[in-house]
Chain A
Amino acid sequence: GAGVSQSPSNKVTEKGKDVELRCDPISGHTALYWYRQSLGQGLEFLIYFQGNSAPDKSGLPSDRFSAERTGGSVSTLTIQRTQQEDSAVYLCASSAGLAPYEQYFGPGTRLTVT
C-alpha cells in the first residue's frame, strides 16, 4: 500500500513543552526505526523496534526522549521538556522482517524549538 507516513510534517514548539511525533509504517513491516537528522550531521539512530522484541533504545540522547509502538504498527516518539538542540528533522523508517536493511523512509517531521 502507501509508503511510510509521518505527522505532523512541521512542528514549532516552545522550549520546555512536550511534543509527540507519529509514524505510520508500511503495512506488514515488522521493523520500525527512528532517526534524527540535524543540519550537517547526517542521520543519527534513535530507536529500533522489531516485532515483539524489546526495542533497541541505545541511540536515545537523553531520558527526555521515549518511543512506543502500539499493536506492532504505529509508533509515537515523545520528547519531553524540549530544548533548542532538539530542533531537527525526525525521520521514521520501516522494513520487512526478512530484509531489515532495506529501510523505507517517511518524509520526516521538522521540529523547531523556539
Chain B
Amino acid sequence: AQSVTQPDIHITVSEGASLELRCNYSYGATPYLFWYVQSPGQGLQLLLKYFSGDTLVQGIKGFEAEFKRSQSSFNLRKPSVHWSDAAEYFCAVGGPTDSWGKLQFGAGTQVVVTP
C-alpha cells in the first residue's frame, strides 16, 4: 500500500539558515510527488511537483526538492530561510495506481523560524 512518511514532526531553524525537510514514500509504481505548505490562517498551497524527468525540481518561494528513487525520498530544501517560511509542510504522493488526481499526504512537518 502507498504511504508517505515525514519523520520530523517539528523543526526549528534560525532565519537565514538552510532548511531540509524529509519525505519518504512507499508506492507501487513511479510516483508523482508534491510538497504543499499551510501557512497560519491560510489554505494549503502547492510549492512544487515532480512527475518525471529532471529529479531536481524548483518551486515557488525559493524551494527545491530532489527525487531519489533509490532512497524513496523527496526531500524539500531551501538555502536561506525567511521568517515568512514558518508554516506546516506536507509531502504528498499520487500516481498511476490511484484515481487520477488522488493524493495521499504525510502527517506534516511544523517549521518554526527563530530570529
Verify that A and B bind, or say they do not.
Answer: yes
Contacting B at CB under 8 A, from A78-114, are 91, 93, 95, 100-108
Known: A40-B107, A42-B108. A108 touches B99 (CB 8 A): no
Q: Which residues of A contact B34 (CB under 8 A)?
A: 101
With contacts A4-B43, A102-B49 taken as known, whether A43 is within 8 angstroms of B32 at the C-beta atoms is no
Chain B residues with CB under 8 Å of A18's CB are none
A42 touches B105 (CB 8 A): yes
Q: Is the CB of B101 within 8 A of A41?
A: no
Cross-chain pair count, CB within 8 angstroms: 59
Interface 0/1 of A34-77, CB less than 8 Å to B: 01000011111100101000001000000000000000000000
CB neighbors of A among B33-73 (8 A): 34, 42-46, 49
The reply on A21 being an interface residue by CB < 8 A is no
Residues of A within 8 A of B106 (CB): 42
- Contact between chains at A101 and B105 (CB < 8 Å): no
Q: Mark out the residues of chain B between 89 and 110 whose CB falls within 8 Å of any chain A CB in the assembled complex.
A: 90, 92, 94, 99-108
Q: A3-B43, A45-B104 are in contact. List 9 more A-B contacts (CB 8 A).
A: A40-B107, A42-B107, A43-B44, A45-B105, A50-B99, A102-B49, A103-B44, A105-B44, A107-B43
Give me the interface of B with A, judged by CB distance under 8 Å: 6, 9, 32, 34, 42-46, 49, 90, 92, 94, 99-108
